[in-house]
Amino acid sequence: MIQNKPLNNKFVASISLQLMVVMTTMVMITAGCNNEQRQQAGSSVETQKPLLQVPQFDADSAYAYVKQQVDFGPRVPETEAHAAAVAWITQSLQQWADTVLVQDFVTRVYDNRIFNGKNIIASYNPGSKNRIFLSAHYDSRPYADHDADASNHKTPIDGANDGASGTGVLMELARQLHLHPVSRGIDIILFDLEDYGPPQDTQTDQGSDSWGLGSQHWSANPHQPNYNARYGILLDMVGAADATFPLEGFSMYYAPDITKRVWETAAAAGYGDYFVFEKGTYITDDHYFVNTIANIPTLNIIHLEPGSVNGTFYDHWHTTSDDITQIEPATLKAVGQTLLAVIYQKSF
């Protein structure tokens, strides 16, 4: 057994002093490591640009843009109402976008007549290669060929929902992009001659390419040489009350990932009642030609209603009752706010 002996006081003091020095050094090293870790973490955060705050979509403003289009009258190509709409839309976009151009084109419609079309393109950050595009058509149907009253079948329609609603939403988005700039490149493309297909009463097998003439031209002849975008979003009939937007067939075929993410974004923003996770039918719309000709993955936000009187679209589709009374600001808000969330989230 070893007996413990009392330590000398000076020796004890010396040991205590050394222990204090060691402990102090360890604390300083630990603190330094923690500071370095925090600085490294801070540096990492700084290198990742923070998410931009998503602006609030102004549904009343969008509604006013829809109404102004309708007030011109049916926007059938080569009419005074159409020309007035082109001038007003172009002048409005010139206030907000970096560049605006009207793409003139000549095309043949279903009955072999030649028409002069005008696609309107507004661009933000035109030099950026990181681009997306948003689109709609602004022309309206020359025939109310699905009207319950057969005497109206050759009457042009206002196209408040079918055409003007998507354009109105995108005009408000253009205004918001001016107020809240982003660094990515964004193109807003408003197609002409989308709705000049053959009337239902006399329709024969002209094929699907008798529709979407403006998007066909742009897809084959984009406004910039070698134009490309990561993806595109088309709006069609996005203003009716209680509208539902299922997962349209061609959207899920050509752009399934981005389509699902847009719908998830809508649900997260509180608009899941509009953007429903249900399988929709295949619609040959402007996005079909962008996907198949320009090879840009493009989805379609479109109101589909299988139980309607026409079996596919909402009841007032291609009728004289597709007027401003069909437009509900809450629906415009759901679509516009979802698109703003997509634009201002860096993950898209």
DSSP assignment of 245-309: EEE-HHHHHH-HHHHHHHHHHHHHTT-TTTEEEEE-----SHHHHIIIII---EEEEE---TTST
What CATH number has the domain bearing residue 123? 3.40.630.10
Q: Per the structure, how many domains does the chain have?
A: 1
Whether residue 136 is contained in a domain is answered as: yes
Q: What does the pLDDT read at residue 227?
A: 97
Residue 160, both tokens: 């408040």
Whether residue 29 is contained in a domain is answered as: no
Determine the 3-state secondary structure of 124 from DSSP.
strand
Of the chain, the end-to-end C-alpha distance in Å amounts to: 76
Residue 55, both tokens: 């602006």
Q: What is the DSSP letter of 290?
A: I
Whether residue 188 is contained in a domain is answered as: yes
pLDDT in tens, 270-323: 999 999 999 999 999 999 999 999 999 999 999 999 999 999 999 999 999 999
Which residues form the domain of 187? 59-344
Which residues of the chain are modeled with pLDDT < 70? 1-51, 203-206
Q: What does the pLDDT read at residue 204?
A: 62
Residue 253, both tokens: 């075929």
Q: What does the pLDDT read at residue 52?
A: 72
Whether residue 200 is contained in a domain is answered as: yes
Determine the 3-state secondary structure of 299 from DSSP.
strand
Q: What is the pTM of this model?
A: 0.85
Cα 112 to Cα 286: distance, rounded to the nearest angstrom: 21
Q: What does the pLDDT read at residue 203?
A: 62
Q: Yes or no: say if 90 and 165 are a contact pair by the CB < 8 Å rule.
A: no
